[in-house]
Amino acid sequence: MAISFFGNALTPWSALFASALLALAVLKISRKRPTYPLPPGPPKRPLIGNLLDLPTNYEWLTYTKWAKQYDSDILHVSGAGKDIVILNSVETTKDLLEKRSANYSGRPTFLMGKLMGWDYLFSSMPYGDAWRERRKLFQKHFHPTKPETHRPIETEYVRKLLPELLEHPQDFMALFRHLIGATTLVLAYGLDIKLVNDPYVHLADDSMRPLIEAIVPGAFLVDLIPALQYVPEWFPGASFKRKAREWKAMTMVFRSKPYEAAKKAILEGRAKPSFTSMCLDRDSETNKPEFNEDVIRDTASMFFAGGSDTVLAALYTFILSMLCHPDKQAKVQEEIDRAIGHDRLPDYSDEPNLPYLSACIRESFRWRPTTPMSVPHCSEADDVYNGYFIPAGSIMIANLWNMMHNEAEYPNPEEFLPERHIDENGKINKRIRDPMSLAFGFGRRVCPGEHMARSTLYLTAASILSLFELRKPVRNGVVVEPTKEYLSAIVCHTAPFECDFKPRSEAAVRLIRSIAE
């Protein structure tokens, strides 16, 4: 991998590459040798370390295999001098990322993301004043204790989804993508976002897709060897520079275009209440917003960038799990019928009376995690944990896949078993760890929009299953089985699959059509 990147001919740039590796090696050697050993991991080669061993897809499966091979919950690998520490258990992850959060709340600098222009997102910022200011602003307006700030919009767009799903069930994946995109963009900007073919949703999707590819550790060599950022675009193997330039242009449009449109709509009095409108509400004495406009604009874009893809991936997995387990689907629908009946749609007040639905949502998060590896943290200073040395600047990766497929905590982990989350009284079993509590991050970097993601997923799942039966399609007398394949990325989506959405009754059809009137 490292050799073929520059070919075999000796050139000034291959010399630069070799020099960068040598400098890294000298720097590592010159550091004071630690008293404690590094965590176990695959043997390292001179200069390049484990650069050739690092997986390029489905990384969590390789890390899970290594955890068993080296019989350790904490592993160490290196790529051309960059330390990577993999955490394979809940206990180890919480010990470091939560109990020692002062040292492990940083984010590694992913140069590819920076070259693409995404370094303004507070989810990727280093732990510091700029990050705190943006997070404070987000939480001020969308605190978990203020559901009225987001649930009406979520309800509006879930209701808009149902007639579209009735008329165009074959387009369910695109409809779900627009549902989640529209909800987050309306919450952020208050614009009139369409549920189908909205240009702002398409802009956000097109901007985010490359980022999802880029933030996987090791996806681009420049993240391991920073000197490569100075290689010109035309050089063989430097196509990442051209990609970064093209992607950055889209990023900058997404950063500014919806925000400027929101400001115009607010000025003209046609915007819905939103994060942007609340932030730009000027103080009567100073006639200025409370926060700098750059902070407001950047935080607004975080709504889509920070949560939409995760929620969408979780929704796809929930639908797939219900499709593949019709007995579980039928049990959810029996529960909905008992608690709600047939003459109205579910709302948020019904959630406590739908524990089996909640169990299915939890189990879908565990069965096929939306983020098999959490967004990496970074160690600020040298540390010692359980007799192992963790160097400063290490990329810290929590392997959620291994945690959620831990046989000791979740027996028969490959089976979809919502019943594992239900206690003897038919309620949610508090003794079983909620997988969703792991999916949204750790310590000071936990996702501030977790409560919004949970409420959107609940209402969408409850509404769909109250009205539709999910069936495997039949083509020419043959049942079309879903592949259950997933695409390898930091946010893991199902591969496209087919699903027939059949109204459960004529009453369901009438209820759906009444929404559209």
Annotated binding site for heme: 447
159 burial (CB, 10 Å; 0-12 / 13-18 / 19+) is middle
Binding residues: 447
CB 221 within 8 A of CB 5: yes
- Nearest-angstrom CA–CA distance, 53 and 75: 13
Determine how β-strand 388-390 pairs with β-strand 82-87.
unpaired
CB 53 within 8 A of CB 81: no
Sorted by sequence, the CB contacts under 8 Å of residue 416 that are 6+ apart come out as 321, 324, 325, 328, 363, 364, 367
Phi–psi pair at 384, nearest 5 degrees? -125, 130
Q: Inter-axis angle of helices 506-516 and 450-467, to 10 degrees?
A: 130
Strand partners, 249: none
Q: Of the candidates 380, 400, 399, 398, which has an alpha carbon nearest to the alpha carbon of residue 390?
A: 380
CB 119 within 8 A of CB 108: no
What's the sign of the alpha-carbon dihedral 225, 226, 231, 235?
A: positive
